[in-house]
Amino acid sequence: MRSKAGLFIVRYDDPDKGWSVQEIAPLKVESIYLSEHTSVSGTAILLAAEHKIDIWILNKFGMPVSRVWHLNPTGHTKIRKAQVIASVNAIAVDLVKHWLNDKLSNQINVLNKISSTNKNNEVQNAAEQIAFQKNKLDAIEGTLISDTAEAIRGIEGYASKVYFRCLSDLLPEQYQFKERNRSPAKDPFNLALNYGYGMLYSKVEKAILLAGLDPYIGFLHRDGFLHQSLTFDLIEPFRPKVDQVVFQLCEQSKILPEHYKIQGKGITLTNDGKQLIIHAINKRFKAKGIIGKVENYCRAAAKSMFEFSE
């Protein structure tokens, strides 16, 4: 990718037409994702910076490992101070419960949408089990997240096992899986899911920064060196949005053997496979206004923290 006359010039290998060139106006670009074996010129980076377009560098698993970002500050000192105060007070328990409650609700919504076209007692049973876990989550009381984290993680973990076991059982046999697996993925469903989560991760981090929050100061997920724990906290409610896209791709047998290849002890996406996932997720996110919802969600979190500290 390079720039010329204020436009991005992208040269890419089209499966049908061979090497092709496309000119793209910066106003039409929200983010730029660079995977392995891609290159970008300095002038293109400067053009992106001028238009406040963030550039993400993804590893072979589709996870962001670096970012090129313009220098205009997006955070506010008062909000970040409020975030630190909130993270060690009772509101942290309330926020974490709220975020995970939304995640479990969205998992139930995914199952309900599946059950509307696939009448299956297993789906209803799974939804009821997750609803029961939601009630247990609501019942947790505590003033410090350190005292309640283990119980909260146990509830979320159990609900996720029920949820993914149900999704697997409903998939065509070639897409079924025993458990969630990552880095490397060992089956097409988890491979696509991991890549989709990587795309979502970058959008959540951007929304966190725009809200003035620090992605490294988390609540449920543990703080650590170069560990964006708040990003992992706030991505949780939106994971089911990716789950639904990947489930439909597998249900319709659209992820084909040519979309992935064996690498080491697992599998990795080919370029065509990445394009398939990128197109499907971007199409759904645009149709459902997911990016706007993510940004509003992060702003609401920042507002709650700020109001608590006042």
What are 174-198's pLDDT values in tens digits? Answer: 999 999 998 899 999 999 999 999 9
Question: 62 falls in which pLDDT band (50, 70, 90)?
Answer: low
Instruction: Map out the domains of the chain with their CATH numbers.
Output: 2-68 (3.100.10.20), 77-309 (1.20.120.920)
Which residue in 301, 287, 304, 203 sits closest to 248, CA to CA? 287
Q: Answer with the residue of higher pLDDT: 35 or 46.
A: 46
- Helical H runs in 51-144? 77-87, 90-117, 121-139
Which residue in 108, 102, 106, 101 sits closest to 123, CA to CA? 108
Q: What is the pLDDT of residues 157-174, one digit of tens each?
A: 999 999 999 999 999 999
- Mean per-residue pLDDT over the chain, rounded: 91
Has residue 118 got a pLDDT over 80? no
Residue-level pLDDT at 213: 92
Whether the full predicted model's pTM is greater than 0.75, yes or no, is yes
Residue-level pLDDT at 149: 94
Instruction: Give φ, ψ of 120 to 5 degrees.
Output: -145, 125
Please tell me what DSSP assigns to residue 183: S
Question: 87 falls in which pLDDT band (50, 70, 90)?
Answer: very high
